[in-house]
């Protein structure tokens, strides 16, 4: 007998009483009068930053202003005109090390905890973590209230269908004496640029 | 009469300044958890649902495991099944050897601690680098975690500063946490870039999609899987849940309960390897779980999602630290899991509980932690691990309380004990005098006073 069958058989034999799946449709999950306002508030509280892009404004200029010393900017997005590296055409993932600013797209944000759903839409997902500063482009109409709504609608990319992540603010740790420090192993800052319709 | 736990706790309490900081720190985490819980009207409803989902899932786990494995394989992953720690370690080594891996970076995994994987791999010549900052610190220090979410909580910033001076060449005397975190970042960054494989644990496995879901604040699980060409995910059987609707419930609770944050920074779904990497390996580990589900009194410990909230709130954990427990997971859940693992070895932990039940009042999946500890205590005599002194005392007490004559004689004579000189009674022979002074016995016992009042 294979290990799988052996383990499953033993488990099955040892289960005593069986319990039914509860109804999850009646969860009275939190909703907000204005999810966008809550999303902005939460993003700031987890150490991130939110900037609204006005209609007609070029966010490329804004990124340049926000990170005047940035030499390496990575992105595979056609609307990003200031990229110096492309995670789709780079030789190896590790070549993205040294990226000052990585610019990626988020699908939607979650008001209750500032999570942004980011399915992998590039060949090397390292860009989302290895960049010193992360910039996420997010259409401002795409904010859901809570994670129940979020998990109803997450989708993976058709081409890069192996990975997706929720990101809420910059990488952080409190592992040294419980002091909160931003910038543990991944991006040291996270900025969400809210795009107009 | 002291158990192994209270003897170890004595060591912890020698440094009173640190002991007080430890207690206050965890109480602060508990308070942050409360703020999160009170911030959601549906919190108690979520706990009910989470508990019911887990009860359902772990009593139908054979079906969900099969579904998970089928979907993961459909996604292109290679799924392995390990019946115990030894087999798990061998499978990992085998995969690494096949890919000629010399160095592996890994995110925090209590399962790999459980299986003692790191020393096994190191013995076989593989360099293992922990990448969660807390785990990295204790790895450099040659220690084990003292908490499942905050593994290096027993060290202060000076301890870490001195360690980094020695191991990572940080500036002498600069023990500022922001600086030290940056030093670790630079050193770990180099490891991520040069490792041949990355390993993660898994907070959840999703049966319906085959996703492995990993929650971190540091982004180290994502870094561990972004550069190396090989990803191995190790997950205990009980971490599989049915679908995303269930995941939403747990995702909302895990971090709120554990650290008092609304979410971890990263909630990452790994479905298959990146396009430029080898196929992803998933190892499902039994190591006792298929037996524990059959334990009529203790099977619900399998509901645990390892948030750590039971230890944060536990008055005994807060005042005795993780190293006072004999099992590698401390606190209420560790007491119970340790007993499921090996009663002979871990019976000393069951006394580390005041039965205040704060643990089960905060547990997001409603594991009846304190009730279970009480039940373990009732079984110690059957296991042959009951404390002899306590057993003798219990016999004596049932004799006294079982006979009105002896009881009345005892209480009327008790006040004579007051005139015994203090050094004789507050001494090492009297375990009750350890840590506090003996009481003064009243001349007239309580039941006599009451009778007089009623006259």
The CATH number covering residue B328 comes to: 1.10.1060.10
Is it the case that residue B1 has pLDDT exceeding 80? no
Q: How many CB atoms lie within 10 A of CB B338?
A: 23
- For chain A, what is the mean pLDDT? 97
Write the CB contacts of B5 (distance below 8 Å, at least 6 apart in sequence): B320, B324, B325, B326, B348, B349, B351, B352
pLDDT, one tens digit per residue, over B66-94 is 999 999 999 999 999 999 999 999 999 99
Cα torsion at B41, B42, B44, B48 (round to 10°)? 170
In this prediction, residue B449 has a pLDDT band, given cuts at 50, 70 and 90, of: confident
CB-based contact, B73 to chain A, within 8 Å: no
φ, ψ dihedrals at B78, nearest 5°: -105, 120
Q: Express each pLDDT in A160-178 by its tens digit.
A: 999 999 999 999 999 999 9
Do B139 and B178 lie in a common domain? Answer: yes
**pLDDT of B258 higher than 80:** yes
Domain end marker among B383, B411, B432: B383
According to the model, what pLDDT value does residue B430 have? 76
Domain ranges of chain A: 32-195
Distance (Å, rounded) from C-alpha B452 to C-alpha B11? 49
Assess whether B201 and B332 both reside in one domain. Answer: no
Residues B160 and B236 in one domain: yes
Q: Is A109 on the interface with B (CB under 8 A)?
A: no
CA distance B19 to B372: 27
d(CA A46, CA A168) in angstroms, rounded, equals 7
Q: What is the DSSP string of B103-139?
A: EEEE---HHHHHTTHHHHHHHTT-EEEE-SHHHHHHH
Q: Would you say the C-alpha torsion B438, B442, B443, B444 has a positive or negative sign?
A: negative
Q: Which of A18, A114, A166 sits opposite B59 (nearest CB)?
A: A18
Q: Tell me which residue of B371, B377, B384, B368 sits closest to B349, measured CA to CA.
A: B377
Nearest to A185 among B60, B220, B261 (CB): B220
Q: Does residue A197 carry a pLDDT above 90? A: no
Quote the tokens at residue B349.
Answer: 């932990």
Residues 6+ apart with CB under 8 A from B450: none
Local structure of B393: helix, strand or coil: helix
Q: Are residues B248 and B195 in the same domain?
A: yes
Mean pLDDT value across residues B127-152: 97
What value does the mean pLDDT take over residues B139-154?
96
Asked if the structure places residue B119 within a domain, the reply is: yes
B215 in Cβ contact with B255 (< 8 Å) = yes
Residues of B within 8 A of A114 (CB-CB) are: 262-263
Cβ of B426: how many Cβ atoms within 10 Å?
15
CA B325, CA B312: separation in Å to the nearest integer?
A: 15
Cα separation of B210 and B153, whole Å?
Answer: 34
Pairing state between β A181-182 and B204-206: unpaired
Q: How many CA atoms lie less than 13 Å away from B149 in the CB half-sphere?
A: 27
Q: What residues have CB less than 8 Å from B35, skipping those under 6 apart?
A: B260
Say whether both B24 and B60 belong to one domain: no
Average pLDDT of the segment spanning B178-204: 98
Whether A150 and chain B come into contact, CB under 8 Å, resolves to: yes
Tokens 């007080």 locate to: B20
Question: Is there a single domain that holds both residue B316 and residue B235?
Answer: no
Write out the residue range of the structural domain in which residue B350 sits. Answer: 4-29+297-383
Average pLDDT value for residue range A125-152 = 98
User: Residue B151's closest CA among B166, B170, B136?
Assistant: B136
Confidence of residue B433 (pLDDT cuts 50, 70, 90): confident
Q: Do B55 and B156 have their domain in common?
A: yes
Q: Give backbone dihedrals phi and psi of A139, rounded to 5 degrees, phi first.
A: -65, 130
Confidence of residue B49 (pLDDT cuts 50, 70, 90): very high
DSSP-derived 3-state class of residue B144: coil
Average pLDDT over residues B324-352: 97
Would an 8 Å CB–CB cutoff place B274 in contact with chain A? yes
**C-beta neighbour count of B41 within 10 angstroms:** 10
Complex-level ipTM: 0.98
Residue B391 at interface with chain A, using a CB cutoff of 8 Å: no
Contact B224, B107 (CB under 8 A): yes
* B208 within domain boundaries: yes
Our count of domains for chain B comes to 3
The verdict on A54 touching B (C-beta cutoff 8 Å) is: no
Domain boundary among B338, B356, B383: B383
- C-beta of residue B56 within 8 angstroms of C-beta of residue A19: yes
3-state SS class at B269? strand
Same structural domain, B219 and B262 = yes
Quick check: B268 and A163 CB within 8 A?
Answer: yes
Model confidence pLDDT, tens digit, residues B284-302: 999 999 999 999 999 999 9
User: How many angstroms separate the CA atoms of A62 and A135, rounded?
Assistant: 11
Angle between helices B16-38 and B4-13 (to 10 degrees): 100
Query: Residue B437: pLDDT band by 50, 70, 90 thresholds?
Result: confident
B125 part of a folded domain: yes
How many angstroms separate the Cα of B328 from the Cα of each of A17, A161, B319, B455? Answer: 30, 37, 17, 59
CA distances to B9, B107, B233, B280, B374 from A162, in Å: 47, 19, 14, 10, 46
Asked if B36 has any chain A CB less than 8 Å from its own CB, the reply is no
User: Do B315 and B279 fall into the same domain?
Assistant: no
- CB-based contact A124:B231 (threshold 8 Å): no
Helix (H) or strand (E) holding B292, with range, is helix B289-292
Strands (E), chain A: 49-52, 73-74, 101-105, 109-110, 116-119, 133-139, 143-144, 163-167, 172-173, 181-182, 189-195
Closest CB from B59, B219, B246 relative to A171: B219
Are B24 and B51 members of one domain?
no
Nearest CB neighbour to A175, from listed B48, B133, B252: B133
**Token output for B108:** 């925090």
Q: Which pLDDT score, from 0 to 100, does residue A166 have?
A: 98
- Among the three residues B260, B290, B320, which one is the final residue of a domain in this structure? B290
Q: What is the CATH number of the domain that holds B154?
A: 3.40.50.10420
pLDDT tens digit string along A74-128? Answer: 999 999 999 999 999 999 999 999 999 999 999 999 999 999 999 999 999 999 9
Give CA–CA dist A88/A124, Å, rounded: 6
Q: Cα(B288)–Cα(B338) distance, rounded to whole angstroms?
A: 11
| Residue from A70, A58, A82, A60 nearest A189 by CA | A70
Which one of B70, B226, B271 makes the best mutation probe of the A interface by having the most chain A beta carbons within 10 Å? B226
Which residue is it, tokens 């990448």? B131
Spatial neighbors of B382 by CB under 8 A, at least 6 apart, are none
* B440 plus B369 within the same structural domain: no
Cβ contact B242:A19 at 8 Å: no
Nearest to A133 by CA among A183, A82, A89: A183
B238-249 pLDDT, tens digit per residue, is 999 999 999 999
Mean pLDDT of B221-229: 98
Nearest-Cα distance to chain B for A12, in Å, is: 6
Tell whether B75 is within 8 A of chain A (Cβ): yes
Helices (H) and strands (E) in chain A, counts: 5, 11
Judge whether B388 lies within some domain. Answer: no
Angle between helices B177-194 and B133-141 (to 10 degrees): 90
Same-domain status, B75 and B175: yes
Chain B environment of A113 (Cβ under 8 Å): 252, 262-263
- Indicate yes or no: CB of A151 within 8 angstroms of CB of B244: yes
pLDDT band at A1 (very low <50, low <70, confident <90, very high): low
**pLDDT number for residue B418:** 85
Residue numbers in B near A107 (CB within 8 A): none
Can you name the CATH fold of A32-195?
Answer: Rossmann fold (3.40.50)
């Amino acid at each position: 007998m294979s290990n799988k069958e052996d383990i499953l058989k033993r488990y099955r034999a040892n289960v005593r009483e069986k319990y039914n799946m509860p109804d999850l449709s009646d969860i009275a999950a939190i909703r907000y009068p204005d999810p966008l306002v809550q999303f902005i508030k939460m993003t700031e509280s987890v150490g991130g930053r939110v900037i609204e892009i006005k209609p007609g404004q070029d966010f490329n200029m804004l990124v340049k202003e926000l990170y005047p010393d940035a030499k390496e900017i990575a992105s595979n997005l056609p609307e990003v005109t200031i990229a110096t590296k492309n995670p789709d055409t780079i030789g190896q993932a590790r070549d993205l090390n040294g990226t000052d600013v990585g610019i990626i797209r988020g699908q939607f944000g979650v008001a209750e905890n500032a999570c942004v759903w980011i399915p992998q839409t590039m060949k090397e997902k390292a860009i989302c973590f290895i960049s010193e500063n992360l910039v996420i482009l997010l259409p401002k109409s795409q904010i859901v209230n809570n994670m129940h709504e979020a998990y109803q609608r997450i989708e993976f990319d058709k081409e890069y269908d192996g990975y997706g992540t929720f990101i809420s603010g910059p990488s952080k740790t409190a592992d040294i004496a419980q002091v909160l420090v931003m910038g543990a192993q991944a991006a040291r800052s996270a900025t969400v640029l809210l795009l107009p319709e | 009469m002291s158990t192994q736990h209270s003897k170890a706790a004595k060591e912890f309490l020698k440094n009173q300044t640190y002991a007080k900081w430890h207690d206050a720190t965890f109480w602060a985490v508990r308070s942050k958890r409360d703020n999160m819980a009170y911030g959601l009207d549906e919190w108690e409803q979520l706990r009910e649902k989470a508990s019911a989902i887990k009860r359902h899932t772990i009593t139908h786990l054979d079906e969900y495991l099969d579904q998970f494995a089928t979907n993961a394989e459909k996604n292109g992953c290679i799924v392995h099944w390990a019946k115990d720690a030894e087999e798990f370690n061998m499978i990992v080594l085998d995969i690494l050897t096949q890919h000629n891996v010399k160095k592996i970076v890994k995110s925090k995994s209590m399962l790999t601690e459980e299986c003692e994987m790191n020393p096994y791999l190191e013995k076989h010549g593989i360099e293992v680098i922990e990448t969660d900052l807390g785990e990295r610190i204790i790895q450099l220090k040659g220690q084990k975690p003292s908490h499942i979410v905050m593994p290096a909580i027993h060290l202060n910033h000076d301890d870490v500063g001195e360690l980094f001076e020695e191991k990572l060449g940080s500036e002498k005397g600069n023990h500022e946490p922001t600086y030290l975190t940056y030093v670790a970042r630079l050193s770990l960054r180099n490891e991520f870039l040069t490792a041949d494989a990355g390993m993660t644990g898994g907070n959840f496995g999703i049966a319906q999609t085959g996703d492995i879901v990993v929650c971190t604040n540091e982004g180290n699980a994502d870094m561990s899987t972004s550069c190396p060409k090989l990803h191995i995910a190790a997950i205990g059987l009980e971490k599989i849940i049915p679908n995303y609707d269930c995941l939403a419930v747990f995702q909302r609770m895990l971090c709120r309960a554990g650290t008092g944050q609304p979410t971890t920074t990263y909630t990452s779904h790994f479905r298959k390897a990146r396009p430029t990497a080898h196929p992803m390996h998933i190892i499902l580990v039994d190591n006792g779980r298929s037996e524990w589900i059959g334990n009529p009194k203790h099977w619900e410990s399998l509901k645990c999602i390892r948030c750590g909230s039971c230890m944060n709130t536990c008055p005994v954990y807060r005042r005795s630290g993780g190293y006072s427990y004999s099992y590698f997971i401390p606190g209420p859940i560790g007491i119970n899991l340790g007993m499921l693992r090996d009663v002979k070895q871990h019976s000393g932990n069951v006394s580390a509980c005041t039965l205040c039940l704060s643990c089960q009042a905060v547990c997001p999946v409603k594991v009846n932690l304190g009730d279970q500890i009480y039940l373990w205590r009732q079984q110690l005599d059957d296991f042959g691990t009951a404390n002899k002194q306590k057993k003798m005392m219990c016999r004596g007490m049932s004799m006294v309380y079982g006979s009105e004559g002896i009881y009345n004689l005892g209480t009327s004579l008790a006040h004579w004990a007051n005139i015994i000189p203090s050094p004789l009674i507050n001494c090492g022979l009297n375990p009750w005098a350890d840590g506090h002074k003996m009481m003064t016995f009243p001349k007239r016992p309580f039941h006599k006073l009451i009778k007089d009042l009623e006259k």
